[in-house]
Amino acid sequence: MKSDFINELGILFNQNNSISDDDYNKLNVKRGLRNKNGTGVLVGLTKIGSVQGYTVDKKGKKIPEEGKLYYRGIAIDKLIKQFGKEKSFSFEKTMFLLLFGKVPSNFELKMFISTLKEYRHLPDEFIEDFILRKPSADIMNQLQRAVLCLYTLDSNPDDVDLSNLIDQSLNLIAKFPSLLVYCYQACNYKHFNESLIIHNPVEEYSIAENILHMLRIDNKFTPLEAEILDLILVIHAEHGGGNNSTFTSHVVSSTRTDTYSSISASIGSLKGPMHGGANSMVTQMIEDMKKNTNPYDEAKLKEYLKGIFEKQLFDKKGRIYGMGHAVYTVSDPRAVILKKRARELAREKDALEEFELFSNVEKFTKEIGKELKGKDFEICANVDLYSGFVYKLLNIPPNIFTPLFALSRIASWNAHRMEQILVDKKLIRPAYKAIDEDGNVFL
């Protein structure tokens, strides 16, 4: 039997590929490109974004501090405040800032948006041949394929000169919202027997407005809904060069491969549940709470969260999704910003009780963590805790939570790609040591 043979091969693989923790420690391997204190191994420099969540003392100990996120040296909270005065096209301004290093002037923004509109159109035959035919059950996989297929529409796809890289970046940014929605609709039509209704983007709408317009059958949305979706795209737009999908862009781009291959690889990285897929896990966890206990009863919620910590409930991995971050310790500035607007949206949608549930998950996780792991234990809500809740209030389906994350990162991935090709120029090639069954290094 085929399945028996596959199982035998699995046993054979495990017998010949196990490597002990002692072997990693003996050779001082930086597993996950992390130092022993959990900080990232320094492998590059960037001017695009910066993430700070702790300091390190002279003994190498991490000292927790309030989280900070900078886009081109501007703190995210200050950027949001600056952009919030106009209440529209904040995401477009953010993409310009990340790509070109400055907040656009009114003229630059007008020209930027005008250029995106010129590139927005997807040919009918492309939609038919590459999106509607045999769509994947997973929209992130479908997006990867669609981005790769854009290579066929490019008359100069492999040129890595700056002008061509900028041209390709703007082309991808412009087309990505439609790619996302069309992939979603094709998937639902093929795999869930839903009606296939495709709305074209509206000329004068922002990207956030067009997402809501194209997703909804009646095309209607409130100004607050558009503002908050625009905000989510802004706060997800950049997170330094070391996050997995952006580092993927650096690694793949260092080979001088084409833009479409690089962006497709970053989408594949973001799909993983330990990276961009985490917001979907928050939703699943909350639904599991509701199914197995009464999370609106604080005592029962605490009991459930403790059960997750002790690897007895939900997926039994000991992780409370939406809590904790690789860099942020005391706070995630994105979560702080989004939480305030989430409450505002919850009030409009008559969902304040649901908002309080998420807020209590945050509060009680911190308390239980200190009870179980000691008073020095620090954990904060990350942006995923509230983004899934906000998406739900916006009637955005769970299977496009992560694709929207990809949309928010599209300019950043291209900015880091250009930085790698034109500034760093070095092929990324880390080292692996080959060892025998006793852990001895092959010479």
- Ramachandran region of residue 402, left (φ > 0), alpha (ψ -120 to 50) or beta? alpha
Amino acid symbol at 165: L
Say if CB 360 and CB 301 are below 8 A apart: yes
DSSP codes joined into one string, 180-197? HHHHHHHHHHHHS-----
- Is 275 in the active site? no
Run of H or E including 70: strand 62-71
Say if CB 183 and CB 403 are below 8 A apart: yes
Amino acid symbol at 154: D
DSSP codes joined into one string, 29-52? --GGGB-TTSPBPP----SSEEEE
CB burial readout 242-257, b (16+ within 10 A) else e: bbbbbbbbbbbbbeee
Among residues 236, 239, 250, 325, the one annotated as catalytic is 325
Nearest to 7 by CA among 20, 15, 437: 15
Among residues 230, 258, 332, 384, the one annotated as catalytic is 384
- Is 230 in the active site? no
3-state secondary structure of 75: strand
Which are the catalytic amino acids? 325, 384
